[in-house]
Every structure is written in structure tokens, then in C-alpha cells.
Homo-oligomer: A and B are copies of this chain.
Amino acid sequence: MKSSNEPVPKTSVHSQRGQCAKRISILEAAAEVFCRQGFAGASIDEIAAEACVSRQTVYNHYREKENLFTAVVEDVMDRANAMLFSILSTFPENPDNLEDDLAAFAVRLSRNCICNQDGKFLRRLVQSEGERYPHLFESWRRHGPGKIGTALAALFARLAHKGLLKIDDFDVAARQFLALVNADLQMSTLFGATPSEEELESAARNAVRTFLRAYAAPAA
């Protein structure tokens, strides 16, 4: 379901305790349906059916549709955040081949943060409902696209400090790195398809090659 073969927390469920299976099931189904249909187009009946749960149960757990929606968004954001930091921690402390390491990193990032179900959900929902629920996605957009921006900037700062990169503005570089990785994937992700592993690797290669041409520290 979650298309991740990485070390990952299983379905994190935000801040509520008392997490019977139903509750989680509803959250997952709701994410699916909200993502497919948008807020207005999604019906509680459809969500209940997809969760294999009666409609009343949905109302028991989440008072109303809007409430369910915010719960879903928060849940997905939590999970996406956990995933992001899990992936960031995989970057080697002392890279031996910067290009390869960055490419592998980019592949993991795009596979598990951008092209997966949660990434698609967030992109789509921020786009279509972001203006209607500004408070909901505030934290998302506050830290650039999903906090990835600032975390990446920190990573690049570390690499620059080690003399591996030559960067004047870390934030700009981070945004550009993400943008480059996305460049070859946009076609696929926009339409909704999940790119193959080969596409991911090719996109990462292209991105890293260009990024390093622009930002690699001149050979000593």
C-alpha cells in the first residue's frame, strides 16, 4: 500500500491514542478518496465503503467531513515528515563518491517522498484545497515544499563545509536540487503515474549531473 521498501515507521497516526484498526482504516481510505476526488468530490459513503466500515462509524470517529479531512492531512504530513528524516539520515557522513551518493539519495527521495502515495496526496491537495484551508498546509509551505527544503539546505551546508560543494546560497541550491530531480518526473507525477525504477534513476542522474556541474567545488 505504501510502496516503500525503506526503513520506515508504519502508519503513524498523529496524536490520537486508542487507535483501533478501524480508525486507521478510515484514515487510509479517506486519504485515497480525498486524493482521487478532492474534498468536494469525495463522499463519506465512498470512504466508508473503501474502509470496509459503516458510515456511522466514520461519523463516530470524526465528527464531520471537514474534521476527517484535516485529520487525514495531518496524518499524511506526519508520515511524510518521518519518512523524510529517515531518508536524510541515510546520507553518508563522509561520501566517497559525491555524484553516486547524491544520485542514490535523489532516487530514495523521489521514490519515497515525491512519487509515493503521500507525496502525490500532498501535492494534489495543497494545489486544489490549499487556498481553501490555508491554516492546514501552512507548515507545509512554511518550510518550502514540505520541510524538505530546509533539511536539504542543511545537508548541502555540511557538504560545502567539507569542501565538496561550492555554494553561495544554500536555500536556493536546495530548492534547485529538488526542482532538478522533479524536472524529469513532472510529466509522470502530474498525470498520476508512478515512474519506474529506471525512470527514477535516470531522472536522478540527470539532476545530479547538472547540479554538480553548477555547484561542485573545483578540483583541488
Chain A interface (Cβ < 8 Å from any Cβ of B): 36-41, 123-124, 126-128, 130-131, 134, 137, 141, 144-145, 169, 172, 175-176, 178-180, 182-184, 186-187, 190-192, 206-207, 210-211, 213-215
Q: Contacts A41-B39, A41-B40, A191-B134: A206 and B127 contacting too (C-beta < 8 A)? A: no
Q: Are B130 and A192 in contact (CB under 8 A)?
A: yes
C-alpha spacing A206/B169, complex, angstroms: 10
Task: Report the copy number of this chain in the oligomer.
Answer: 2
Q: How far is the CB of A137 from chain B (nearest CB, A)?
A: 8
Q: How far is the CB of A52 from chain B (nearest CB, A)?
A: 24
Q: How far is the CB of A150 from chain B (nearest CB, A)?
A: 12
Residues of B within 8 A of A191 (CB): 126, 130-131, 134, 137, 141
